Structure 1
Amino acid sequence: MFPGGRTSDLDSALSCQQNPPWSPALFDKFKRRSFLQAVVAVAASSAFGCAEDVTPPSDDTAKFFPQSVASGDPRPDSVVLWVRASDPDNASANMPVKLEVSTSQDFSSLVLNESFTALAEHDHALKVKVTGLTARTTYYYRFTVEVGGQKVSTHTGRTKTAPAANADVPVKFAFASCQDYIGRYYNAWQRLLQLDEDLDFVVFLGDYVYETTGDASFQDANGTRSIVFEEPEKAQREGTGLVAFYAASALSNYRDLYKAIRSDRVLQQVHERYPFIVVWDDHEFSDDCWGSTATYTDGRIDETQVARRKNAEQAFFEYIPLDNTQAAAGAIDINAVVAAQAGGTKIWRDFEFGQHLKLMVMDYRTNRPDHLIPEDAYPGTVVIDSATMPAPYKPAFAADQFAYVDIDAAPLAPYKAALQGAYVSEAVKAGLTQEQAAAKAATWVKGNQSLFYVNQVIDAVSAARVAAGQSAIPRIAITAETPRGLAYVHMGKGSLFTIQGSRYIVVKPTFDLYAGIKYAGTAKASENALGDAQEAWFKETVKAATNTWKIAVSSVSLTSMVFDLSQKTDVPEANLRQAFYFNADQWDGFPTKKKELLGYLAANNLQKNTLFVSGDIHASFASVESGVPTLTAPAISSGSIKELAGRALLGAGYGPGAAVYQHIVANLDDSLKAGNPGMKFANGDAHGFVVVEVKKDEALATFHLVPSTEIGKDYSLRADSELAAKFTSKKLRVQNGDITDA
C-alpha cells in the first residue's frame, strides 16, 4: 500500500510503471514538489501497491469510477459489493458493468463473472449481493465497463467473509465514526492503512456524511476541502450573512455529499481494503434529528420534513453497501429497498462471526421521540406540580426557588399579559412573525408557572416600564402556602429557542426525576428510543446468543458525560454550581430507558460479556455503565468535543480565565472522570479509531489517537513516518464486566 506516500516506496512505485508518464524534458519543467506529488499520486493509484494489482487501473479509472469500490455486510456465505459507474460524457445513460470476484489477486480463480447495470435513476450506484461464498475467505473483486471499445476497470477491491458459526477463532475489527469532510482530512483512516491490520471488518457508527456545506458552529472550511451542491436552489438555506450555509434537502443534494467524500483517495483505499458494517446517526439526515424532524431552528418552527428524510435515506441506501432487506443474490433493487421502508424504516440487523462474536447493529435515530425538554420550552412552565411530586422528593423542593402559581388565576391577569408581551417581544427578536409569536405565547404562557422565572421576567418588564416613565409591576409574593414544583428552568432551560437546557447542559438530578415521572406517565413512550419492534429484537437476540461476546453497536454513546460543578466553590455563578449532563441528545437524554436496558442485561446475567461500542460525541471513552462495559470511538475528523465545548463557552461569554471554562474545557477529561465514577479512560481532544480483538476470555481494545491540531493538515503527500509520529495508542482489556489497562 501507499496510503501515505512513503519516500521509501518511491523506487518500487517507479519500477511498476513500464511506461513512465514523463520524459526527462518534461521532468525539467517540474518543481521538485510537483514531481513528488505526481509520483505519490501514481503510487497511490493502487489500493494495495502495484505488486498486488496484476491489472493496474487505466488512466480512465477515476473518470468512470470516481468513487472507486466498497464492500459491506459480510456474512459467512455472502457480501455486498458496491460501485458507482458512470460516463460523464453521457450522464443520463445506464451503464453496463461486469463484476469479477476471485479468490486470487490475479483473478485467475473466478467465483463470479457476471454483468449488471448501473442505473442512472440511482445516480449510477450499483450494489451486488454475492452469495455462495466460503466462510472466512479473502476475495478480490473489480468492476469493468467498456466505452468506445475501451475496457476500463476499477481499482481492485478486497473483502472478507465472516467465519462460520462454529469456528473457534478470534475476531478483529475496527470501529469509527464522524468523518466531516469540510476543512478536514482523513489522517485517521490513513493511519489505519499504515497499520495494515488484519481486520475482519470495520464498523462505522454514523455521521458518514454531514448534511451541511459550512455550518460555522462546527465546520472550518479552508478552501481546499469543501462541498458545493450541483442544485443549491433545492437545498435549505440556513443562517444569515457571513455564517450562512446550505443544508442538503433534495435527493441530489444528499448524493452530492456521498460523491464528494468518497472522492477522497484515502477513504477509498479503506473501503477497497475492508468490508464495512454501517449504521446511520443524525447527520446522514439532519443534526440532532429525531425521526423525520430536524432541529436547526430550535423550536421556532415545526421542522418535520418527511420528504427530506426520504431523500436522505435513499442516498444512504444507494451509496452504502448494506443489505438491510436480506436481498437475494444479484443486483440489489434500490427501488424495492426504498419501498420497503414505507412500512417502517429498518436498518437494525445482527451478524455472527464464529463462536466468539454476535454483533447487534442498532438504530437510535429513526424511531426515537423528541428530546424530553423541547427547544422551544418556556422556562417557567411547571412539569411536576405539588400533586404529582413523589412524596420522598418533596423536602428537596421546599425552597422558594421551586414555588409556582397558576398564572391563569384571575388576580394574576396583569402578570399573564406582561409575561405574554415579553414572550412575543423575545420571539420576534428570534425571527418569528408577530402572529407566530402570539400563537406560541398563548400555547406556553399559561397554567402553572415557576415564580423563580416569572419574577425575573417581571423585574425586566418593570425596569423597562420605569425607564419609559411608567410604574413598576411588583413581584408575586411567595409564602409558605405557595405550592412547590419542578419547571423547565430548574433543569437548565433559561431562555427560548435554545439548545442549552434542552439538548445540552441539562441539570442532572432534576432531569432524572422529570424523565422518570414522564416515562411512567406516558407508558414509556417518552423514552422509546429504539421503538417497540427493535427493542424486542435486541432483547431477544442478546439473550438467545450463545457467542462468547455480544457486542451492541449504538451510534450514540452510553457513557454518561457529567460535569459535576456542585461543589466547585470557585464558580461564582450559583446557577452553574450543579451537576450537568453535557449531552442530552445521546443516551443520557433517555436515562430511564438506558437504566431499563442495562437492567435487563443484569437480570439475565448478560452484563459480563456484553459490550457496547459507540460514536457520535467526538471523544474517546471507556466506561462501565451499571456493570456493562462500553467503548466510545473518537471522531475520524469532526471537531473534538473539547473544541466544540470551548466554542460554546466562549460564545456564552466564558473565556479561558473563567472557572467554569477551566472545569469544562481546560480540564475536560478529569472533570468527566470525576462526574462518572465508572469512567476508566477519557480523551476529549483527539481523533482516531479503535481496534478490538475478541477472544474466548477477553476483548482487547486499542485506541489509536492523533491530536485535533493535526486534522486540518493533509498528510496524504507526506512520509508515513510523519503521521505515525503524531499518533499514540491506549490499550485496554475488557473482561468479566470490567475494563482495565492492557
Structure 2
Amino acid sequence: MSQPLHRRTVLKCLVAAAASTAFGCHDDEPPVDDGRAYFPQSVASGDPRATSVVLWTRMVDPDRPDTDVAITLVVALDEDFKHRVLERTGLLAQSAHDHALKVKVTRLEPRTRYYYRFILEKDGQRLGSPVGRTRTAPASGTNTSVRFAVANCQDFRGRYYNSWHRLLQLDEELDFVLFIGDYIYEADSSLVPSTDPTRNVRFTDPGSALPRDMGGGRVELVAQSVSNYRDLYRTYRSDPFLQQVHERYPFIVTWDDHEFSNDCWDAHATYTDGRTDEFQPERRRNAELAFFEYMPLDNTDAPPGAIDLEGVPRYPDTRIWRDFVFGKHLRLLVTDYRTHRPDHLIPEDAYPATVAMDAAVLASLGLTEAFSADAFAYVNIGEFPAQQAVLRGAYVQLAVGAGLSSEEASARAVAAVQGNLALAYVNPVLVAAAQPGAGPIDPVGNPRGLAFVHMGKQDLFTSIGARNVVIKDTFDVYAAWRYATSGREAQDALGEAQEAWLLEAGEGAQTWKVVASSVSTTSMIWDLRNKPDVEPPTVRNRYYFSVDQWDGFPDKRRELFTALRERAGGRTLVVAGDIHAAFASVEHGVPALTAPAIASAAVQEEAGEAVEAAGFPPGTAVYRYVVTEQEATFREGNPGITFVDSDAHGFTVLEVGPEVVRAAYHLIPSSEVRVNYAEQPEKLAARFSRQDFLVRPGVIDVA
C-alpha cells in the first residue's frame, strides 16, 4: 500500500510531470535486482544541455548474444526512483551495435540532477544496471558559476587510473567532465604486457587487426576492424574508477588521434612514415562507428529517444564539433582537430636534400641575406652525374634498410635524387661514400635555398625532422610561405566550415568562450642557440618539440587566436590535452591551459625517446637541456608559459565565473601510474599536489 503523499512530494511530482512524458510518483516500485553483470560497462551520460541529456549503456545477455534485446530506461529526481520523470520501455540494445544503446532524453529542467538506470526483464526478474546520476546545464541567462574537470589521454595497458580515483575522492560538484581526446589507444598489449591481467588489452579477433612493424623484429597489433575498436572500448570501460566517474558526471567528449591512429590526419595513418600509402578510409569509419557506439554524445541533434547509430554520419561526412551554453558565463566550443586537417607540412618521406624554397622564392620574400651562408647552398644535381649516381645508390641503401624492396627503392631514388639539392646534405653523403670522381661540391658561387635538411630532416622515412624535433626558425619561414601560396589551405587545421562556425560562436564579450582543443596550443620550444656545451655547433638551434600540435600551424594559430580574442573582448580561453604534460600559458593574447594525461607516458619520457632517436643519448648536453631540464628549457623557449609540469599525470578543474576563471591542476608524479592505489586511498591522496591559477582576459596569474 502506498504511503500518504506529503505536500513537498506532491510538488516534486508536479515538477516531474512538467519535465517530460512523466510517470509521476512511484512509491510502489517493483523490485529491481542487481543486474550489473548484464551491464559490464555500467552506464554513462553526456552532452548535457539545459533541457536534454544523452544516456548510455551496454547490455550483454550471454543467452542471447546475437539478438536485439529490449530494455527499459527509468529517469527520476531521486536515487530511489520514487519520483520519476520518464519510463521508456522497448528500447533495443542491438547486436549490430555491440548491444550499445544511447537515448536522448528531452524536456528536462535546467540545472537539475537526475538519476537513471536501465532494466532488463529476464525470466520474470527485473535486473537493473548500476544507477547513474547526471545534471542538466543551467539555462542560458542564469547568473551562476560553472565547474567542470578537463581530462585526456588514458592509456590502459599496464597502467592504473589513479587520477580518476582521485577525482572521485574529491567528490567535486561538477557540471560535467570534458574529455578532450585519446580515450583509447589503438594498440593491444603485444609490446607492453602487464603482469596484472586486468590491465592488458587483447583483441577477440586478432586476425582482423593490423600488424605494426616497430623495428628490431618487434610487431604490435593495432585496431583495424570494428571488432578491434569495440574491444578497446569494452576493455577501457571495464576499469571501475572510470565507470564510477561516468556514473557520477555527464561527459562532453571529442576525439584526438588514438581513437583512430597515432598522429593521424584526415583518414591517413602515419605508422610507416611514408614508406607506404596509409590512406585508410574504411579503418577510419570502423573507428568512428565504435566511438559513436560507446560515447554518450549527440553530434547529430538527434530527436528524443534511442539514437540511430546506423544513421550517424561517418567519414568523410563526420561532424563532431559542437557548442554548449552553460548559463550566462560559459559557452563551450568543442573542436575537432583531426578529421579536417591537412598533412604535416614536412613529409615523413621527404628527401632531406630537396630544396623546398629556392633562391627566387627567398628573393621574392626579401630573405636572400638571411640565408646567404654556405650552409644554404644548393645545386641542380643533374649537372653532376657522378655525384647524382652516388646519391641514388646511398638512397637505395637507406630505403632497403627501411624495408623497401630494391625495385621500389630504386624507383624512389630516381624520383627523389634530382633537381635542386642542398649541399648541406649532399656533401656529407659524398664524403662518406668516397667515390673517385664524385667528391663534395664547392658551395661557392652556387645559389642559396631552404631544404628539408635545414628544418631538421636528416633521414628518410622518419618523424624526426617531420613531426617531431623540427628546427623552428626555418620551419616558420617555410610554413608561412606554404600558407600564403596554398590559398591558406596548408595550415587549415579545422576546415572551412568548422572555422567559420568557431569564429561565429566566438562572438560576444559578455560570456567566456572556452575552446576545447584536443592538442595543445602552447608553443613548446627548445632553445639551444646560446648553449656553448651543445655539440656539434650545428645543433644550436631553436626546435619545436612537436609540429603535430598547433606548433605545426603557427600562422593559422596566430590568425585564429587574434580573431577569437578580438571577437570575445578577450574572454577567450583554450583548454587542451594530448601532449601528456600540464601547461598554463598565454599565446597571442589568449590564455591556454593544457591538462596532464590521466595515465599516458609523460612528455618528459617521450621527449627522451625522441632525442635519443635523433642521436643524443643521456649524458649529452642536448639530452640534459631537453629532457633532464626540460621544464626550464620550455620556459626559456616560450616566455608566455606561466606553469609547466612535464612529468605528472592528473586532471584540471575549472570554475568559470563572470570575470575570472579559476583553474586547479591536480597532479601526481608519472612514476606512480603503475602503482595500484585502489585499496590505498589515503596513500593516493598524499601523492597528489595542487596548483591554482586565476585566468582573466589575456592573463594567467598564480592564485
* Distance change >3 Å, CA 726–CA 617, structure 1 → 2: same
| Secondary structure, counterpart of 2:526 in structure 1 | strand
1:86-105 residue pairs with structure 2 within 5 A? 86-105=60-79
Structure-1 separation of matches of 2:430 and 2:555:
36
How many angstroms does 1:60 deviate by? 4.2
* Distance change >3 Å, CA 635–CA 93, structure 1 → 2: same
Do structure 1's residue 716 and structure 2's residue 678 form an aligned pair? Answer: yes
* Distance change >3 Å, CA 58–CA 577, structure 1 → 2: farther
1:501-650 residue pairs with structure 2 within 5 A? 501-543=465-507, 545=508, 547-604=510-567, 606=568, 608-650=570-612
Partner deviation per Cα, 1:475-520 (whole Å, 9 max, x = no partner): 11221x3100000000000010111100000000000000000111
Q: Tell me what 2:666 maps to.
A: 704
Q: Tell me what 1:232 maps to.
A: 206
| Residue from 338, 345, 348 that aligns with 2:321 | 348
* Distance change >3 Å, CA 431–CA 608, structure 1 → 2: same
Do structure 1's residue 124 and structure 2's residue 85 form an aligned pair? Answer: no
| Secondary structure, counterpart of 1:99 in structure 2 | strand
Q: Tell me what 2:438 maps to.
A: 473
Q: Which amino acid aligns with 2:404?
A: L
| Residue from 402, 410, 414 that aligns with 1:442 | 414
Structure-1 separation of matches of 2:555 and 2:659:
31
Contact 2:590–2:697 under 8 Å retained in 1 = no
How many angstroms does 1:648 deviate by? 3.0
* Distance change >3 Å, CA 420–CA 700, structure 1 → 2: same
* Runs of 5+ consecutive residues of structure 2 not aligned to the other structure: 1-28
Structure-2 separation of matches of 1:201 and 1:442:
56
Q: Which amino acid aligns with 1:624?
A: V
| Secondary structure, counterpart of 2:314 in structure 1 | helix
How many angstroms does 1:269 deviate by? 0.0
Structure-2 separation of matches of 1:501 and 1:722:
42
Do structure 1's residue 388 and structure 2's residue 371 form an aligned pair? Answer: no
Partner deviation per Cα, 1:330-381 (whole Å, 9 max, x = no partner): 00000111xx335621000000000000000000000101000010010000
| Secondary structure, counterpart of 1:244 in structure 2 | strand
Q: Tell me what 2:3 maps to.
A: none
Q: Tell me what 1:729 maps to.
A: 690
Contact 1:55–1:106 under 8 Å retained in 2 = no
Structure-1 separation of matches of 2:194 and 2:346:
32
Q: Tell me what 2:637 maps to.
A: 675
Do structure 1's residue 424 and structure 2's residue 424 form an aligned pair? Answer: no
| Secondary structure, counterpart of 2:188 in structure 1 | coil
Structure-2 separation of matches of 1:599 and 1:698:
20
Q: Tell me what 1:248 maps to.
A: 223
* Distance change >3 Å, CA 663–CA 342, structure 1 → 2: closer
Q: Tell me what 1:305 maps to.
A: 280
Contact 2:562–2:589 under 8 Å retained in 1 = no
How many angstroms does 1:220 deviate by? 6.5
* Distance change >3 Å, CA 253–CA 477, structure 1 → 2: same
| Secondary structure, counterpart of 1:346 in structure 2 | coil
Contact 1:164–1:353 under 8 Å retained in 2 = yes
* Distance change >3 Å, CA 531–CA 350, structure 1 → 2: same
Q: Tell me what 1:286 maps to.
A: 261
| Residue from 148, 151, 161 that aligns with 2:123 | 148
Identity of aligned residues (%): 52
Structure-2 separation of matches of 1:57 and 1:484:
78
* Distance change >3 Å, CA 435–CA 607, structure 1 → 2: farther
Q: Tell me what 2:7 maps to.
A: none
| Secondary structure, counterpart of 1:184 in structure 2 | coil
Q: Tell me what 1:684 maps to.
A: 646
How many angstroms does 1:655 deviate by? 3.5
How many angstroms does 1:721 deviate by? 1.1
Q: Tell me what 1:113 maps to.
A: 87
* Distance change >3 Å, CA 111–CA 623, structure 1 → 2: same
Q: Tell me what 2:165 maps to.
A: 190
1:320-469 residue pairs with structure 2 within 5 A? 320-337=295-312, 340-341=313-314, 344-389=317-362, 390-409=364-383, 412-462=384-434, 465=435
Contact 1:356–1:695 under 8 Å retained in 2 = yes
Contact 2:335–2:516 under 8 Å retained in 1 = yes
Partner deviation per Cα, 1:140-186 (whole Å, 9 max, x = no partner): 00001022222211110000000001100000000010000001010
Q: Tell me what 1:18 maps to.
A: none
| Residue from 71, 87, 90 that aligns with 2:45 | 71
Q: Tell me what 1:739 maps to.
A: 700
Q: Which amino acid aligns with 1:723?
A: L
How many angstroms does 1:442 deviate by? 2.5
Structure-2 separation of matches of 1:241 and 1:234:
23
Structure-2 separation of matches of 1:721 and 1:57:
34
Structure-2 separation of matches of 1:55 and 1:243:
56
Q: Which amino acid aligns with 1:446?
A: Q
Structure-2 separation of matches of 1:582 and 1:144:
50
Structure-1 separation of matches of 2:190 and 2:267:
20
How many angstroms does 1:650 deviate by? 3.8
Moved more, 528-537 or 657-666: 657-666
| Secondary structure, counterpart of 2:142 in structure 1 | coil
Q: Which amino acid aligns with 1:584?
A: V
* Distance change >3 Å, CA 175–CA 120, structure 1 → 2: same
How many angstroms does 1:414 deviate by? 2.0
Q: Tell me what 2:26 maps to.
A: none
Contact 1:206–1:555 under 8 Å retained in 2 = yes
1:255-294 residue pairs with structure 2 within 5 A? 255-294=230-269
How many angstroms does 1:662 deviate by? 1.0
Q: Between Structure 1 and Structure 2, how many residues are aligned?
A: 671
| Residue from 485, 488, 507 that aligns with 2:452 | 488
Structure-1 separation of matches of 2:637 and 2:31:
55
Contact 1:94–1:119 under 8 Å retained in 2 = yes
Q: TM-score, normalising length from structure 1?
A: 0.88
Q: Tell me what 1:23 maps to.
A: none
How much is the aligned-residue C-alpha RMSD, in angstroms? Answer: 1.6
Q: Which amino acid aligns with 1:634?
A: P
Structure-2 separation of matches of 1:298 and 1:363:
23
Contact 1:619–1:635 under 8 Å retained in 2 = yes
Contact 2:151–2:596 under 8 Å retained in 1 = yes
Contact 2:509–2:570 under 8 Å retained in 1 = no
| Secondary structure, counterpart of 1:80 in structure 2 | strand
Contact 2:281–2:315 under 8 Å retained in 1 = no
* Distance change >3 Å, CA 343–CA 287, structure 1 → 2: closer
Partner deviation per Cα, 1:161-219 (whole Å, 9 max, x = no partner): 00001100000000010000001010000000000000000000000000011375xx5
Moved more, 439-448 or 178-187: 439-448
Q: Which amino acid aligns with 2:661?
A: A
How many angstroms does 1:291 deviate by? 0.7
| Secondary structure, counterpart of 1:714 in structure 2 | coil
